[in-house]
Structure 1
Amino acid sequence: MRLLRYGEAGKEKPGLLDAGDTLRDLSGHVADIDGGSISPDGLKKLAAIDPASLPAVSGNPRLGCPVGNIGKIICVGLNYSDHAAETGMQVPAEPIIFMKATTAINGPNDTVVIPRHSKKTDWEVELGIVIGKKAQYVEEKDALDYVAGYVLVNDISEREFQIERHGQWVKGKSADTFAPIGPWLVTRDEVADPQNLKMWLDVNGKRCQDGSTTTMVYGVKHLVSYISQFMTLMPGDVIPTGTPPGVGAGMKPPMFLKPGDVMKLGIEGLGEQHQDVVGYKG
């Protein structure tokens, strides 16, 4: 299934995209696409619904983040061998884990705002894991049982805040609008191999990132198991898993986002995003 949330920001309704790409309203069956409805039992109930029996949604409504009430965004850094090489950093001996504030969550096609005093706002196309049931001390062989599905994430980052301003990476990752997620949550059964997905990102029509999850250092199973050793993962938590090469900071000379830029990105089977970039006006 391709599950989504549509409508005005803060008032999104649950929906799904059927096989013919028609948006269908799910609000007669669930209140939201969230930790409760994407549990194993919740997904089983949704899968039993005939999409043709659901009301079609007319027009072209805004799409919100496809998962509501996300409790945690746990990100993974330097998790692509070719991206680590472009940054001049070594592949880590263990996954690098950092948090991204949930106030950064944005719809997949919503405007991205460069934060005040930013000098180095950057882009990162990423595969996101969505947790479907409570996970504590999970064995790697069982890890996929805890995955509800996958989403496309743009892990937007302010590199000066992240790297040059001391402290943890969370400062450079958490500005408002810095976590566009979606357009859909694609359930695990529809992604045959999460370690073999093409991914790309364009800025102003120029292909900057052109990679594949095949070069991930630590795969989905390992990450779910590893992170669950340090914290309890809850249904609806999202784990962006790192980015392939082609980020602005890795270019020679470096290139960063500015007002008027347009980002487009996608992952095979998980849809596409489109974001206009504006400056902070507060």
Structure 2
Amino acid sequence: MPTSTPVRPARPKDAVQSLERAIAVLTTFDREHRHLTLTEVAERCRLPRSAARRFLHTLVELGFVEVSGRKFTLTPQVLELGYANLSRFTLADVCRPHLEALARNLGLSASVTVLDGPDIRYVSRVEVASGMSVSLKAGSRLPAHRTATGRVLLAALPEAELNRHLDFSAPQDPHPAPAHDERSRLERELDIIRRQGWAFADQVLDVGVQALAVPLRSRTGRVVGALTVSMYQTHESARTLVPRYLPPLLETAGRISLELRAGIDV
């Protein structure tokens, strides 16, 4: 007796095929396929190269995908999309209670940031009154190479991607890319940060401001954000501040990372 071929349900007349394809492009990246070429995306999504190219470059413009050479990769911004769809919580919602507890216990401002182009973007922040001249809140952006949290994120990048970030200097940027000597010092510092797993910045961003930052990791161990606390006018050195604040910072980062590992994988 011949077997019948399953009949594929007809697409509802109001369905938007381009949205389906965009989602297919996003979800084609997974643990085994974190970096894909245009050809690989087209083949995995069964799309014409021209269509795959349009979707990828649109996602790059929206900040969900980044490109380095011929390879495309998801950005940490998909975390927010994933939490909104899968658990109805944004990344900021996930981080917020942990930041509030950390700020309350230490009496310090606490933040979570992601890398966004040459900058860090604040996803969530709990502010403790200080004399800082820089006002920071969720959505604020700062040049990554001038902050402890940005240096943690830069230290986690592959070499080619790191070079692209350090080379960037937008026209009329008030905080241009580091000059040659400064860049050499920064690269040496990033190597230390990569090995020790945390970054400390003393009066780099603002006079009297010190900051300590650690990475946040996804299920695969990829660094997708950074957690930082900042101190103002403590007149203490890293030698005394780091042993005091690093353990609770790492503990909080671990709790946040556990929640990220239970969500989407980036």
Tell me if both proteins adopt one fold, taking TM over 0.5 as the criterion: no
TM-score computed with the length of structure 1 as normaliser:
0.24
TM-score computed with the length of structure 2 as normaliser:
0.25
Which of structures 1 and 2 has the bigger CA Rg?
A: 2
> Which structure: greater strand fraction?
1
Higher relative contact order (CA 8 A, sep 6+): 1
